[in-house]
């Protein structure tokens, strides 16, 4: 029995999951994962072959065409999704443990995410029973019209390393509620929780072939999925650079894409805001998952008259935040995913200083040489044309830009190719509503950040992606609309 408060004695080895069953490693290679916070090997997953991917796609297509899932009643789909939610909660400690070891995020965050993931399955179960189309009784006495929704087909699902389980939960139950079938490829860094989810779904009664997991690298397995002509839809979450490659590769069969890409998300703070609340929210929004979060509020846009006071509050919060061992329940900020990523993040700090920004706090690595922690960092005196203000850093680096008017704040916020999320801090309702309407972001928070649940859709504006996940919209995303005209009575013949 694994002690979830201690490191494992040996790496946990996984097979992969096809057609409702585990497939052993065989002669394939292992991909080993080293815990970014502890420097020890924690998991091994299979480096699948392109033939394994073909087997997964064939299993999914066979399941879809059989109607074993695509044609069953919504109530039956809902029943499986509800059992899956129960299965997640029953194994919460186990999933959170391996999620923390692979990602480096705090165990408290992992536990919260796993619990939140179960909520998505429960919500999607309700949508599965209420999904509907339209009827048109206004086409005259001799015609009725109907619009139905039906599942698109086989979905290729590529998920990232930073939120491997919650991002999975923001997609799988909605795809399944629509009646689709799935071939998933998790990140090679963080595959464990996806493989555990395959087991949970099978035990919940999901028919074989409906959810398949192929593990491996993006360069071979991921690329082949984007090009595959028998995958009808591709859902990809990751960087904007890879997203562009996915878009080009999808031309193989003009497959539909659902893309959630990068974010350079503004936190706009007006002078009338509760600055103590704003400072706490900004620190949380920046340091959640050590800044390795696509909706991280890393671009602080603050009214000039309160910039000095807010900086003091931020530095105090940074000094008191708890970095350390992610298995410690008191830890608030964990590790960078790889040494290479940590080096890249710290390189942005130096780049900001070279471009004229001031290092007001942090900016250094933290901890032993074998693990990857970065101090909470604040750069002030930043201009919106600096690299640190434009690029998605994906680390705990906050850039402060000052403004004088609402129009200027909105102009700075929107002056970026990305538009994933934004937060607005003010006690003036009119100001909040005017700013919210004008900011170009798919998710916008007022006097909070990184909040929400399964009810509302997620997705981005501009180059932050296309399509929407979660909510009713997240199920509709994976359906096709069919228009049906039904003639009534005797036909008036065209040929006399």
Annotated catalytic residues are 260, 294
Strand partners, 135: 146
Nearest to residue 213, comparing CAs of 227, 205, 223, 202?
202
> How far, in Å, CA of 157 to CA of 215, rounded?
12
The set of residues, in sequence order, having a beta carbon less than 8 Å from that of 344 and lying 6+ positions away, is: 395
Angle between helices 92-103 and 74-90 (to 10 degrees): 70
Q: What DSSP character marks residue 371?
A: S
The count of other CB atoms within 10 Å of the CB of residue 358 is 12
- Residue written as tokens 């139950």? 173
Virtual torsion, Cα 108, 110, 116, 122, nearest 10 deg: -130
| Ramachandran class of 171: left when φ > 0, alpha when ψ lies in -120 to 50, beta otherwise | alpha
397-403 and 418-419 strand pairing: unpaired
Q: By the 8 A CB rule, do 226 and 259 touch?
A: no
Residues in the chain: 496
Q: By the 8 A CB rule, do 60 and 120 touch?
A: no
> How far, in Å, CA of 460 to CA of 441, rounded?
6
């Amino acid at each position: 029995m694994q002690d979830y408060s201690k490191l494992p004695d040996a790496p946990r080895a996984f097979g992969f999951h096809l057609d409702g069953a585990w497939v052993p490693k065989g002669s394939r290679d292992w991909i080993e994962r080293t815990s970014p916070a502890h420097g020890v090997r924690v998991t091994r997953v299979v480096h699948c072959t392109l033939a394994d991917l073909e087997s997964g796609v064939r299993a999914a297509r066979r399941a879809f065409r059989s109607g074993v899932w695509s044609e069953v009643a919504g109530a039956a789909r809902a029943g499986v999704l509800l059992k899956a939610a129960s299965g997640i909660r029953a194994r919460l400690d186990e999933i959170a443990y391996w999620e923390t070891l692979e990602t480096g995020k705090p165990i408290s965050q992992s536990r919260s995410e796993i619990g939140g993931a179960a909520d998505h399955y429960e919500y999607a179960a309700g949508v599965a029973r209420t999904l509907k189309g339209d009827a048109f009784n206004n086409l005259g006495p001799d015609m009725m019209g109907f619009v139905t929704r039906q599942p698109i087909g086989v979905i290729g699902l590529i998920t990232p390393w930073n939120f491997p389980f919650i991002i999975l939960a923001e997609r799988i139950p909605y795809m399944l509620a629509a009646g689709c079938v799935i071939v998933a490829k998790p990140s090679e860094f963080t595959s464990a929780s996806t493989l555990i989810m395959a087991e949970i779904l099978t035990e919940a009664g999901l028919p074989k072939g409906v959810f398949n997991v192929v593990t491996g690298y993006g360069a071979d397995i991921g690329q082949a999925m984007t090009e595959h002509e028998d995958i009808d839809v591709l859902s990809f979450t990751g960087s904007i650079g890879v997203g562009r490659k996915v878009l080009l590769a999808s031309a193989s069969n003009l497959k539909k894409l659902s893309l959630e890409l990068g974010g350079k998300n503004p936190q706009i703070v007006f002078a009338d805001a509760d600055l103590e609340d704003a400072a706490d929210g900004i620190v949380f929004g920046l340091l959640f998952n050590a800044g390795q979060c696509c909706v991280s509020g890393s671009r602080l846009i603050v009214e000039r008259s309160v910039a000095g006071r807010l900086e003091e509050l931020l530095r105090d919060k940074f000094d008191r935040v708890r970095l350390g061992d992610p298995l410690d329940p008191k830890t608030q900020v964990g590790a960078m995913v790889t040494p290479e990523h940590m080096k890249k993040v710290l390189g942005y700090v130096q780049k900001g200083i070279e471009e004229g920004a001031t290092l007001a706090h942090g900016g250094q690595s933290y901890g032993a040489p074998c693990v990857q922690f970065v101090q909470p960092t604040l750069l002030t005196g930043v201009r919106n044309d600096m690299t640190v203000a434009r690029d998605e850093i994906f680390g705990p680096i906050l850039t402060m830009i000052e403004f004088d008017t609402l129009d200027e704040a909105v102009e700075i916020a929107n002056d970026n190719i990305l538009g994933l999320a934004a937060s607005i801090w003010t006690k003036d309702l009119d100001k909040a509503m005017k700013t919210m309407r004008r900011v170009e972001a798919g998710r916008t928070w007022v006097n909070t950040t990184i909040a929400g649940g399964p009810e509302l859709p997620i997705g981005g504006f501009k180059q932050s992606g296309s399509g929407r996940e979660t909510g009713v919209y997240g199920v509709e995303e994976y359906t096709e609309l069919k228009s049906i005209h039904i003639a009534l009575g005797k036909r008036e013949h065209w040929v006399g």
